[in-house]
C-alpha cells in the first residue's frame, strides 16, 4: 500500500508527505523511542503521541517511512523541518493510539 492510499483509506491528515508513492508495509505503535529503535520494522508507520524531532531521528534509524501523531497533537516547527529534511512523512489523526492502530492494521491487511 502506498502512503497516499493509507492516508485516503484511513482519513489521515498529511501534514508533510515528501513522497506519497512510498510503500508502507507495516505499522508500529509505541511512545518509548528506545522500543521503537529496537522493534519498528522497516517501511512502517510509527503511531505515537511523541510530537518532537527525536521521533523523526528514530524513524531514520529504523527505516520507518512516516509518523502518525495521534490526538490531533500539534506538529512543532522543528519536527516539521526535520521530517522534511529526512524525507519522513508526518501524519495526524484525532484518534487515540488504539483506534489508529486498528484502522491502519485493517487497511494494511486488506
Where residue 87 sits, what CATH number does that domain have? 3.40.1390.20
pLDDT category, 27, cuts 50, 70, 90?
Answer: very high
State residue 8's pLDDT score. 98
pLDDT category, 107, cuts 50, 70, 90?
Answer: very high
pTM of model > 0.75? yes
State residue 59's pLDDT score. 97
Is the separation of the CB atoms in 3 and 89 below 8 Å? yes
Q: Report the domain count for the chain.
A: 1
pLDDT category, 81, cuts 50, 70, 90?
Answer: very high
Per-residue buried b or exposed e for 14-33, using 16+ beta carbons within 10 Å of the residue's own CB: bbbbbeeebebeebbbbeeb
Domain of 99, in residue numbers: 3-109
Helix, strand or coil, per DSSP, at residue 41: coil
Which grid cell sits at 104?
491502519
Amino acid at each position: 500500500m502506498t502512503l497516499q492510499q493509507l492516508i485516503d483509506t484511513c482519513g489521515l491528515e498529511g501534514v508533510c508527505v515528501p513522497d506519497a508513492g512510498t510503500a508502507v508495509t507495516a505499522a508500529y505503535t509505541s511512545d518509548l523511542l528506545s522500543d521503537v529503535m529496537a522493534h519498528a520494522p522497516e517501511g512502517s508507520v510509527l503511531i505515537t503521541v511523541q510530537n518532537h524531532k527525536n521521533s523523526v531521528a528514530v524513524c531514520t534509524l529504523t527505516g520507518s517511512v512516516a509518523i502518525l501523531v495521534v490526538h490531533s497533537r500539534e506538529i512543532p516547527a522543528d519536527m516539521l523541518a526535520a521530517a522534511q529534511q529526512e524525507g519522513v512523512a508526518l501524519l495526524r489523526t484525532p484518534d487515540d493510539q488504539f483506534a489508529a492502530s486498528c484502522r491502519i492494521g485493517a487497511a494494511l491487511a486488506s
